[in-house]
Structure 1
Amino acid sequence: MIDQLTSYQRPSGHGYYGKFGGAYIPEMLHPNVEQLQQSYLEIMQESTFQAEFRDLLHDYVGRPTPLYYAKRLSSVFNTNIFLKREDLCHTGAHKINNTIGQILLALRLGKKRIIAETGAGQHGVATATVCALKGVECIVYMGEKDIERQAPNVARMRMLGATVIPAISGSRTLKDATNEAIRDWINNPSDTHYIIGSVVGPHPYPDMVARFQSVISEETRWQLKEKTGSELPTHVIACVGGGSNAAGAFYHYLDELSVQLVAVEAAGHGINSGMSAATTALGKPGILHGSKSLLMQTEDGQVIEPHSISAGLDYPGIGPLHAHLFESGRATFLNATDEEAMRSAFEVARLEGIIPALETAHAFAALNKMDLNSNHHVILCLSGRGDKDLSAYMKQMDMIGETGK
């Protein structure tokens, strides 16, 4: 029986959000995962852990990140849009919040070696960064296709001392990198900690990553009150692949039912094109990478290869928290195509002087699909900056001329 939840924030004792979650793992990983399950909350709540975590977030990561009122963008949509500037974090994205927390946890568990998976490369860079900071060996698995399209981040990881290993099977993207990281963990269970970058994987990873990323919404509440007099916006918008930035942006609003939560998935070439990553539109319950969630799969359970122009959203599943938010109706799930995301990226650059990551561009694209008015206060999580995507943006400009229109 699945335990009943009293809060959207917390999974059951068995790691389920509604019917999604759990820990479906090989026997070789049981000791590692069980150790995490039994110790992660206790370690995270220790005063010394919290002090070091908060100090690093402030002095190393650069938190709190600003909550910026996007005046010109707000004017276009006749509403009030506030951007939570995770792109201003050290390393250029929200991923560092989680890797700081997990490296501190891994050291307290006596682990000497860190592995990670990465798609767009931001989680890989963030993992390599904290391993360099703490002097720990770092191995990052990355799809061969993503290595080609995210070359600047690959260079950053290597400069930071990480070993980057290409995943050459399947679609050669994020799913396959995750497969390779799990294989490594099975082969090196005693000395290795796997820093998963999103709210996916076996329990307790979805809860653990969400808690580390919850600093986003924790800050947003008091920042919005300073600007508007209220902690509660009308909407919170975030892009979703596995869903870590969305989990962080939503976390302290999950039980505030007056706040509309809007998750935006990657539709690729279109929902029915056969080249999409819109899991809630196309998926059904299944098990992938250690947890039960929604998954794009064939009738006989084979994973359908996803597609997105954005490497960070190119994943065939979604975290179990988000699957529960979708099924329960707590969050609204929209999607944006490659073309819509690209168009929105140029719009934001020209209106606000901010070049967003292609992942975040999908969230911006959702503004065109929402019924907003001047009484609304909209928080949009600007999860990362667009430096890593300049090659894609340059190709777009080459195709359509320098104006990008």
Structure 2
Amino acid sequence: MKKSFLVDENGFYGDFGGSYVPEILYATVEKLREEYLDILESKEFQDEYMSLLRDYVGRPSPLYLAKRMSERYGCRLYLKREDLNHTGAHKINNTIGQILLAKKMGKKRIIAETGAGQHGVATATVCALMDMPCVVYQGALDVERQHTNVERMKMLGAEVRPVKTGNWTLKDATNEAIRDWCCHPQDTFYIIGSTVGPHPYPDLVARLQSIISKEIKEQLEEKTGRDYPDYLIACVGGGSNAAGTIYHYIDDERVKIVLAEAGGQGVETGHTAATIHAGRLGILHGSRTLVMQTPDGQIIEAESLSAGLDYPGIGPMHANIASQHRATVYSINDDEAVKAAYELTRTEGIIPALESAHALGVLPKMKFNADDVVVLTVSGRGDKDVETYLSHKEMAGEYGNF
């Protein structure tokens, strides 16, 4: 029987995954586990979900042949344009699906965590659409550096709660969301934004994001005459856009998977968010995965210019494919990501999110053949990061001179 890198019946990806939750949440998580697949695979859900993706989100998102970047890197480079979705990122694919699931399970209140703010905006958006109350937890540091997204969430009717514990970033926002969930398990649905958390969340989010790779297959067939690329490239923090990008190819050995995590100031400096490079086995936010931690198990705070990748863990799917050598993982430092963002901006007229810029930062580290088909997911647009780009333009080298 051929080995699969998808989740098994016990909620594990190899040695990673599972469900490690407080007793007060056990019944809630178990009910979700029992019901999510039946709901997701029902015709009623699929009809409503696909209709909203088409008419509200604006899917399918384009697969764009980046001609100048292709010439620069000696391959056929296609960009999967998740930045063109409603709300400006891939996050809406997941929140649309999860809020439909929440309604069908009879939940009355939504909570979420957010780092860069894109998941918070996407959650606030679908809550406005479905007329449900929404509380978003965001680290106080991220509230400051993602001010525009905070105001968007408030405009959409969400209550944004700044979190001032830890280093005031994504991990701490997730901690507070889980505390809220523990206090309101009966009526509250926690829309987790990435492929993290207790089973079934990593699989649930991956399935909802798999629309990305489903479209890639169809679009590549139309553009190249075959439905698979030679390389797939995506950034990973928790890992949702990467999971969606690779979902339908994860067991296809013809396709090489390349992931980019946030190196911060460099893995060797300790000021990093490169969990796959710097982490070791542990349990974080309900899942057994790779975690950046001290020898006695205390969490080491992640550091990155990118609020969306600033997380000391990684989704169990990605921990597994890295440990099994199914994926090649690069650590992209802050300066490399900023330079890559400016390069795409000047070369193709696309300003990427700082998270996506880490995926672009992989390209100079790789050698391609001229006929290689490379698909890189631009997970979000860079409007939210313009102030960061401008304040660090010295990192952009030749592109920062303006």
Equivalents in 2 of 1:364, 1:164: separation in Å?
31
Partner of 1:218: 214
Does residue 8 (structure 1) correspond to residue 5 (structure 2)? The answer is yes
Deviation string for 1:100-128 (max 9, x for gaps)? 00000000010000000000000000000
Seen in structure 2, the aligned counterparts of structure 1 residues 253 and 393 have a Cα distance that, compared at 3 Å, is: same
Seen in structure 2, the aligned counterparts of structure 1 residues 154 and 225 have a Cα distance that, compared at 3 Å, is: same
Deviation string for 1:216-257 (max 9, x for gaps)? 000001101111111111000000000000000000110111
Does residue 240 (structure 1) correspond to residue 239 (structure 2)? The answer is no
Partner of 1:369: 365
Partner of 2:58: 62
Alignment partner for residue 314 of structure 1, among 310, 313, 317? 310
Q: How does 1:267-346 map to 2 (within 5 A)?
A: 267-346=263-342
Seen in structure 2, the aligned counterparts of structure 1 residues 38 and 225 have a Cα distance that, compared at 3 Å, is: same
**Cα offset, 1:6, TM superposition:** 4.2
Equivalents in 1 of 2:165, 2:47: separation in Å?
42
Partner of 1:124: 120
Please, which runs of 5 or more residues in structure 1 have no aligned partner?
none
Alignment partner for residue 251 of structure 1, among 244, 247, 250? 247
**Cα offset, 1:67, TM superposition:** 0.2
Determine if contact 2:229/2:374 at 8 Å carries over to the other structure: yes
Equivalents in 2 of 1:337, 1:29: separation in Å?
37
Q: How does 1:27-38 map to 2 (within 5 A)?
A: 27-38=23-34
Please, which runs of 5 or more residues in structure 2 have no aligned partner?
none
Determine if contact 1:363/1:380 at 8 Å carries over to the other structure: yes
Determine if contact 1:5/1:17 at 8 Å carries over to the other structure: no
**Cα offset, 1:5, TM superposition:** 8.6
Alignment partner for residue 104 of structure 1, among 100, 115, 128? 100
**Cα offset, 1:372, TM superposition:** 1.1
Partner of 2:44: 48
Does residue 83 (structure 1) correspond to residue 75 (structure 2)? The answer is no
Does residue 136 (structure 1) correspond to residue 132 (structure 2)? The answer is yes
Does residue 386 (structure 1) correspond to residue 389 (structure 2)? The answer is no
Number of residue equivalences: 401
Alignment partner for residue 264 of structure 1, among 249, 255, 260? 260
Equivalents in 1 of 2:399, 2:228: separation in Å?
38
**Cα offset, 1:396, TM superposition:** 2.5
Equivalents in 1 of 2:396, 2:98: separation in Å?
43
Aligned partner of 2:47: which letter?
A
Seen in structure 2, the aligned counterparts of structure 1 residues 145 and 238 have a Cα distance that, compared at 3 Å, is: same
Seen in structure 2, the aligned counterparts of structure 1 residues 263 and 403 have a Cα distance that, compared at 3 Å, is: closer
**Cα offset, 1:403, TM superposition:** 5.3
Aligned partner of 1:106: which letter?
A
TM-score by length of 2: 0.98
Does residue 209 (structure 1) correspond to residue 212 (structure 2)? The answer is no
Equivalents in 1 of 2:268, 2:278: separation in Å?
9
Does residue 231 (structure 1) correspond to residue 264 (structure 2)? The answer is no
Deviation string for 1:155-199 (max 9, x for gaps)? 000000000001100010000000000000000000000000000
Does residue 172 (structure 1) correspond to residue 168 (structure 2)? The answer is yes
Seen in structure 2, the aligned counterparts of structure 1 residues 112 and 225 have a Cα distance that, compared at 3 Å, is: same
Determine if contact 1:5/1:12 at 8 Å carries over to the other structure: no
**Cα offset, 1:400, TM superposition:** 8.0
Equivalents in 1 of 2:394, 2:320: separation in Å?
42
Deviation string for 1:27-82 (max 9, x for gaps)? 00011100100000000011010000000000000000000000000111111100
Equivalents in 1 of 2:47, 2:180: separation in Å?
32
Equivalents in 2 of 1:157, 1:244: separation in Å?
21
| SS, match of residue 96 in structure 1 | helix
Determine if contact 1:5/1:18 at 8 Å carries over to the other structure: no
Equivalents in 2 of 1:401, 1:285: separation in Å?
37
Aligned partner of 1:78: which letter?
G
| SS, match of residue 361 in structure 2 | helix
Determine if contact 1:213/1:244 at 8 Å carries over to the other structure: yes
Equivalents in 2 of 1:291, 1:6: separation in Å?
22
Partner of 1:348: 344
Query: Deviating runs (4+, > 6 A) in structure 1?
Result: 398-402
| SS, match of residue 136 in structure 2 | strand
| SS, match of residue 78 in structure 2 | strand
**Cα offset, 1:335, TM superposition:** 1.2
Equivalents in 2 of 1:400, 1:30: separation in Å?
48
Equivalents in 1 of 2:64, 2:244: separation in Å?
17
TM-score by length of 1: 0.97
Equivalents in 2 of 1:325, 1:144: separation in Å?
33
**Cα offset, 1:377, TM superposition:** 0.5
